[in-house]
Amino acid sequence: MSDPTAPRPFDDIRALVTSRPAPDADAIAATRAREQDLTKPAGSLGRLEEIAAFVAGWQGKAPPEVSSPTVAVFAANHGVADQGVSAFPASVTKQMVENFRKGGAAINQICLTNDLALRVFELALERPTGDILLTDAFDSERECAATIAYGMEAIAGEVDLLCLGEMGIANTAIAAAVLHALYGGTADEWVGRGTGVSDEGLAHKADVVGRAVARLDGERDPLVVLQRVGGREIAAMVGAILAARQQRIPVVVDGFVTTAAAAVVHAIEPDAIAHCLFGHVSAEKAHRAALERLGADPLLDLGMRLGEGTGAALAAGLIRAAIQTHRGMSTFSDAGVAGPGGE
Ligand SMILES: O=C(O)c1ccc[n+]([C@@H]2O[C@H](COP(=O)([O-])O)[C@@H](O)[C@H]2O)c1
Ligand SMILES: Cc1cc2nc[nH]c2cc1C
């Protein structure tokens, strides 16, 4: 028998979603008005113009400003790696974290290119979550909620644009399980090659994910799905997305695995990811289908499938350009340039 007086940590998370702030309509209107006066034909910067208004709305600031953009990478290990669902051994997660710290990974170079701060969060790598084929990932609601709360640290200090990424061998199987549990269909539809499994490996991965999700008996509560077939980096990214919303910080989501975190939040309340931009569509097979479920239109499509926040960090360069053009360009009258139909 469950104790009806026991604390329900997921209720606190649901309450946080309910109390979310809305974008600032005045800041959006002021940004759109200035955009019309800048020395270019109206609309000619395309999506960059929408991005400037989007950032202004969440920041409640016109003109919008991005001076402390940050990439947060959450690293975790997964018991399901024991089932042979990745092309790489689980030890690579920790080794890549060391590589991030020494500056030798792709994400370090993209952060240098786009002048982004990098924060790496290690989530108990020596203690993988439960193997979802056999048991729940998190032992309890409390442990899952604590990991969500830990992810809220991503925005501590000065952060005005948050790019989210992850590192975790076997986590494309975990992301596929979460999406399969939330959206139904078949496991085949949601699994892809991740780090590069063979045809045979792909069929085995689909079998493992299908059987893991079958354990749920149709359970679709997003936080329960996260607890039972999710993982620590996905839980932490859920927390980061929720905390950023409370602080009105726009978020840039990375690839397939990060999108699974956004999908959990969206399944609680679709509007709760309204402050998120989607950096790219990954080459992981089911990423496009997941983005469609979220109504997301990714900024880039470069055939990347790395994770680490690389797609989000590349897109942050575009977002920086959107803000810089909006802030720095002259108006027609200041520059002495004739406006449409003018002298
Ligand atoms: O997010 C993506 O789009 C993505 C697609 C393929 C691979 N990954 C990365 O590769 C790792 C997971 O792949 P796997 O094959 O071990 O499940 C993990 O570290 C992810 O960051 C990430
Ligand atoms: C080498 C390597 C780097 C990664 N970065 C993100 N996921 C990764 C997986 C592997 C295997």
Residue 88 Cβ contacting ligand 2 at under 6 Å: yes
Q: Are 53 and 45 contacting, i.e. CB atoms less than 8 angstroms apart?
A: no
- Closest to 273 in 3D by CA, of 285, 258, 283, 288: 258
- Closest to 149 in 3D by CA, of 223, 71, 50: 223
Q: What's the 207 CA to ligand 2 centre distance in angstroms?
A: 23
Among all chains, which residue has been given the structure tokens 């690839």?
Answer: 255
Asked whether residue 188 carries a pLDDT value surpassing 60, the answer given is yes
Report the residue count for the chain. 343
Q: What is the per-residue pLDDT for 2?
A: 61
The average pLDDT across 114-129 equals: 98
Asked whether residue 6 carries a pLDDT value surpassing 90, the answer given is no
The average pLDDT across 100-105 equals: 98
Residue 77 Cβ contacting ligand 1 at under 6 Å: no
The average pLDDT across 79-86 equals: 98
The average pLDDT across 164-168 equals: 98
Q: What's the 236 CA to ligand 2 centre distance in angstroms?
A: 19
Asked whether residue 195 carries a pLDDT value surpassing 70, the answer given is yes
The average pLDDT across 228-245 equals: 98
Q: Are 284 and 192 contacting, i.e. CB atoms less than 8 angstroms apart?
A: yes
Residue 253 Cβ contacting ligand 1 at under 6 Å: no
Q: What is the per-residue pLDDT for 343?
A: 61
Atom of ligand 1 nearest to the CA of 282: 3
Q: What's the 254 CA to ligand 2 centre distance in angstroms?
A: 14
Q: Are 52 and 322 contacting, i.e. CB atoms less than 8 angstroms apart?
A: yes
Give the integer Cα–Cα distance in Å for 111 and 105. Answer: 10
- Is residue 21 very low, low, confident or very high in pLDDT (cuts 50, 70, 90)? very high
- Is residue 214 very low, low, confident or very high in pLDDT (cuts 50, 70, 90)? very high
Atom of ligand 1 nearest to the CA of 254: 1
Residue 96 Cβ contacting ligand 2 at under 6 Å: yes
Give the integer Cα–Cα distance in Å for 296 and 292. Answer: 6
Residue 83 Cβ contacting ligand 1 at under 6 Å: no
Q: What is the per-residue pLDDT for 70?
A: 98
| Helix segments in 89-198, DSSP class H | 91-102, 106-114, 141-151, 171-183, 187-190
Q: In the β-sheet with 251-253, what is the strand arrangement from edge to edge?
A: 117-123, 69-76, 161-167, 251-253, 276-278
Tell me what the pLDDT averaged over the chain comes to. Answer: 97
Strands 276-278 and 251-253: parallel
DSSP state of 329: S
**ipTM of the complex as predicted:** 0.99
Q: What's the 163 CA to ligand 1 centre distance in angstroms?
A: 17
Asked whether residue 230 carries a pLDDT value surpassing 70, the answer given is yes
Q: What is the pLDDT of residues 52-61, one digit of tens each?
A: 999 999 999 9
Q: What is the per-residue pLDDT for 5?
A: 81
Atom of ligand 2 nearest to the CA of 166: 6
Give the integer Cα–Cα distance in Å for 70 and 61. Answer: 19
Please report, to the nearest 10 degrees, the dihedral formed by the alpha carbons of residues 85, 263, 190, 224 taken in order.
60
Ligand index nearest the alpha carbon of residue 284: 1
- Sequence-distant (6+) residues with CB within 8 A of 311 are 254, 255, 279, 280, 282, 300, 302, 304
- Is residue 180 very low, low, confident or very high in pLDDT (cuts 50, 70, 90)? very high
Which region holds residue 252: left if phi is over 0, alpha if psi is between -120 and 50, else beta?
A: beta
Q: What is the per-residue pLDDT for 284?
A: 98
* Structural domains in the chain plus CATH codes: 68-321 (3.40.50.10210)
Q: What is the per-residue pLDDT for 1?
A: 52
Atom of ligand 1 nearest to the CA of 193: 15
- Is residue 340 very low, low, confident or very high in pLDDT (cuts 50, 70, 90)? confident
